[in-house]
Amino acid sequence: MADTESLENLCHDEQLLVSRSVADLQREFHGTFDDETIEHVVVDSFQRLAARARATTFLAVLSERFARERLTALAHVDGAEPGRPGVLFLCVHNAGRSQMAAGWLRTLAGDRVAVYTGGSEPSSALNPIAIEAMAEVDIDITDEFPKPWTDEVVRAVDVVITMGCGDACPYIPGKRYVDWDLDDPEGQSLDVVRRVRDAIRTEVEGLMAELGVSQRG
């Protein structure tokens, strides 16, 4: 990674926000990655989210979660994690369709599938209508947040599901890509988003069957 992705290149206030996450993840991933790699991933994750954040209240917490997800994916790529199917859901804003799909897959499959999401142009917040539609089926996605796709996550998964990001979606030769033709919930009514939600469930159930993953009891 570039030299700009280190703590010393952040301003003082940003260093205060990020330094604890760096230390925590260095302890968590000790023996898997060196301290410099972990620092670079945390700082890069912080910078990517900060570029689109409306407020910094939860930025440190979210960037630590984002960095942990990336490090876990990188460990999987490097063979340090036990194998299980991995799925990445990609849409433009990572605020509606991809988050709804992830909510369905996590609910139906549990921890038998590693689930990731990303966007080509991430929004600053989740679509509130998507949140409401998912809550109607008892799936809470309020803890999620829009984030960009990253190379290590794309490389870690078995299937990349694209939903409307077109040529902006990352392409890695040999990786399996599947495009789901679904309406974008942005600016739509609750009734329309409900139909999108239900269509996504059908697609997710079909994906699980292809992966040989049964629904959890």
| Domains with residue ranges and CATH for the chain | 1-83 (1.10.8.1060), 84-217 (3.40.50.2300)
Q: Cβ–Cβ contacts within 10 Å for residue 82, how many? A: 6
91 is catalytic: yes
List Cβ neighbours of 182 (8 Å cut-off, separation of 6 or more). Answer: 97, 163, 164, 196, 199, 200, 203
Query: Which candidate in 10, 17, 71, 91 is catalytic?
Result: 91
Which residues sit opposite 161 in a β-bridge? 89, 178
Query: Which candidate in 114, 157, 165, 208 is catalytic?
Result: 165
For residue 48, pLDDT over 80 is answered with yes
For residue 80, pLDDT over 60 is answered with no
For residue 82, pLDDT over 70 is answered with no
128-159 pLDDT per residue, tens? 999 999 999 999 999 999 999 999 999 999 99
Q: Average pLDDT for residues 190-198, to the nearest whole number?
A: 98
> What's this model's pTM, rounded to 2 decimal places?
0.90
For residue 198, pLDDT over 90 is answered with yes
Structure tokens given for 95? 């605020």
Q: Average pLDDT for residues 42-58, to the nearest whole number?
A: 86
For residue 106, pLDDT over 90 is answered with yes
14-37 pLDDT per residue, tens? 888 889 999 999 999 999 999 999
Query: Which candidate in 62, 130, 161, 169 is catalytic?
Result: 169
Q: Average pLDDT for residues 158-177, to the nearest whole number?
A: 89
The predicted structure's pLDDT at residue 1: 43
**Tokens 């900060």, located at residue:** 50
Higher pLDDT, 54 or 2: 54
The predicted structure's pLDDT at residue 2: 44
List Cβ neighbours of 24 (8 Å cut-off, separation of 6 or more). Answer: 64
Task: State how far the Cα of 112 lies from the Cα of 117, in Å rounded to an integer.
Answer: 16
The predicted structure's pLDDT at residue 4: 56
